Amino acid sequence: MEICAGRHLLAPNVWARESEVYDVTVRILATPAPAAISVAAARIDAALPQRRGLCGQEVRAVPADSDGVTVWARLLGEVAVTLQTAARKPVTRLLRVLPAAGTNTVRLVLQAHDPRLAAACLREAIGLLDRAVVTELPDLAPLLDRLTLLADDVCVGPSTMLIVDAAAARGIPWRRLGGECLVQLGQGRRQHRIWTAETDRTSAIAEGISRDKQLTKQLLAAAGVPVPVGRTVTTAAEAWEAAQSIGLPVVVKPLDANHGRGVFLDLSSREEIERAVPVAAEEGRRERTVVVEEFVPGLEHRLLVIGGRMVACAKGEHIHVTGDGRHTVAELIDLQINSDSRRGISEAMPNKTVKLDATVLAQLARAGATPETVPGAGSRVLVNQIGTHGIDATAHVHPDMAAMAERAARAVGLDIAGIDLIARDIARPPQEQGAKVCEVNAGPQLMIHANPSQGPGQPVGRAIVDELFTPGDDGRIPVVFVAGRGTGAEGDAASGAAALLAGFLRAAGRTPGLACAAGRSIGQLQCSTAPAVNPDAARDLLVSPEIDAMVCELDWHAVAVRGLPADRCDVLVLGRMPAPQADVTAAAGVPPLAVFAALVESVAATGTIVLAEADDACMRLAADSGRQVVVVDPAGQEDPARRAAMLAAAALGLASETSRRGAPGSSAPSPSPAAHGGRI
């Protein structure tokens, strides 16, 4: 098998309302016999049992008279979506298996988290099927790990998706900007932007402060937040000198690392301190500087502060293994710790797989153990003291503890902050136990709060969205789609309606974004004169923080191959569909009615469809949609495009403005738009 071509469709599209799609053409160079396909399927399911649960396909004999090409292609698609789902949740589906032009050529339409991940999973699936025809498959864990790491690199991150999902639940549209985790929530002037757990309200200065642990502590102490006494050093000798002046025991940690890497607690001897310094320095990013500070007894708690309010708390854990007299420490780590379903290599996991890194090796050495040590039955070996948060403690946080965390976030200046607070008992006042704040983190991990190992998950994504958008604000601006027979088709009632409607909006005091056959503009600014009737051009307009409305002319073929520029429109202006004999969507393998259906389904439940010279099939689909439908009066005296634009303006509530101010470029007042159409 070989991949001939693939294309990425935005959401919504002709195949799926909510998800992006990878539409790929595959050529089957050699189709196995039905019996060989059955054997290959059994081998696939032995190595990848998730396929049966995901795709609902039990291994069974393939009938001898079946279409081998279609069956083989379907199996390929099912393996590809199974690999993609294993690499990154949520579940993805195989949407279609369709014939394509060419001998033994098939189209697969897959839901996709990211086109790069979907393409990689499809390539790996081809390799697995080719191998399964001739032999048993090996353990697929290394392959799944590679795909998981790829998903971490190319897909929107899990913390970001918590916020995105919360926004979507409120009806707030979103889109990814670039190839990282920068996401826009809302549209145009009403948008906000997030990057993981940072927002467009996160101060760059505050973020910079939080990266410097010593500077952070200075500011916290000045604001009355109790912090451990400490000093920065660069050598082991300086570390021992600092420890003596501070008082043993001490903590040694990097100046600017994260995730608990290179952090050593409760060090009481010169040997321990000098051994910890180079490890901590290696984990840091700044001139190999480390911090030596007083050791505060208790457990680390991560308190999440959003908008000045503590919303979640995760209790830290010391990680131990318990010996059985048979297994080594390294084996026990895999059996007792890494087997936890909430651990893994993916960023989607609340806690990471424990590796035998320098921090763990140093901790084992303190206990007189190595990875090869076989602990006796019942004996406990401490593996790590920091960096794992598993238990939700939100409901138990004492008000004074919450207030201390909130004060720390304000002192640094962060709108979203992860406060690391050491306390023996988070339910008691901090003054009773000498609790102290040791770190303040920008862009804190959210998964430890949303998916704890014990206790209820906290709706932290919703808390961030609620901080950005007031109740009832969905972040949307008015959006109008205009779809005619084709770009600049002469006599098409929809052709030119987009530019006219944008003129009405400007006359009404709005700043519309316009994408049409004549180019792109923002308000009075002409951005480009190149034809812009594709969804990408319109989608880019919604990024502008200046526009408070958008009007876009869409080419039918572009919608078929790329999807729609926004998940919803308020008004849809439709001209004639392309004639079947000159079907501009043929190259996409999509009938015009499917594009029409996708356009109609994109109209908001309270929106309006303006039909200009529509045929009977369009009239029926529009009438059955449940939306308000207005038909341009074919007997009107004005230009059809003008009548369509005025009806759209009326649907947007601009009737009074256009009547009073007159049409763009004319001093004559415009008649009421309602006079140029009828409702069905």
CA dihedral (119, 125, 126, 129) in degrees, to 10, reads: -170
Q: Which secondary structure element, helix H or strand E, spans residue 87, and what is its range?
A: helix 68-87
CA distance 453 to 43: 34
Among 426, 434, 419, 417, smallest CA distance to 392 is for: 426
End-to-end Cα, the chain, rounded Å: 51
SS3 64: coil
Supply 166's token pair: 């919360």
pTM: 0.87
Supply 278's token pair: 């180079």
- Helix and strand element counts for the chain (H, E): 23, 30
Q: Chain-centre distance of CA 435, in angstroms?
A: 36
CA distance 571 to 512: 14
Burial (0-12, 13-18, 19+ Cβ within 10 Å), 89: middle
| Residue 192 backbone class (left: φ over 0; alpha: ψ -120 to 50; beta: rest) | beta
Domains of the chain plus CATH, in order, are 2-154 (no CATH), 319-384 (no CATH), 479-679 (3.40.1190)
CA distance 152 to 213: 27
CA distances from residue 34 to 63, 67, 68, 74, 133 in whole angstroms, order as listed = 6, 9, 6, 13, 11
- For 260-280, letters b (16+ CB in 10 Å) and e give bbbbbbebeeeebbbbbbbbb
- Rg (C-alpha) for the chain, rounded Å, is 31
With a CB cutoff of 8 Å and minimum separation 6, the contacts of 49 are none
CA distance 254 to 250: 14
CA distance 33 to 288: 62
For 500-516, how does the pLDDT look when each residue is reduced to its tens digit (9 = 90+)? 999 999 999 999 999 99
SS3 106: strand
pLDDT recorded at residue 668: 32
138-96-573 Cα angle (round to 5): 140
Residues of the chain where predicted confidence (pLDDT) is lower than 50: 58-59, 65, 487-491, 581-584, 656-676
Relative orientation angle of helices 460-468 and 158-169, to the nearest 10 degrees? 60
pLDDT recorded at residue 259: 64
Interstrand relation of 519-522 and 628-632 (parallel, antiparallel or unpaired): unpaired
CA distance 541 to 481: 13
Among 284, 276, 296, smallest CA distance to 229 is for: 296
CA distance 401 to 600: 53
pLDDT recorded at residue 425: 96
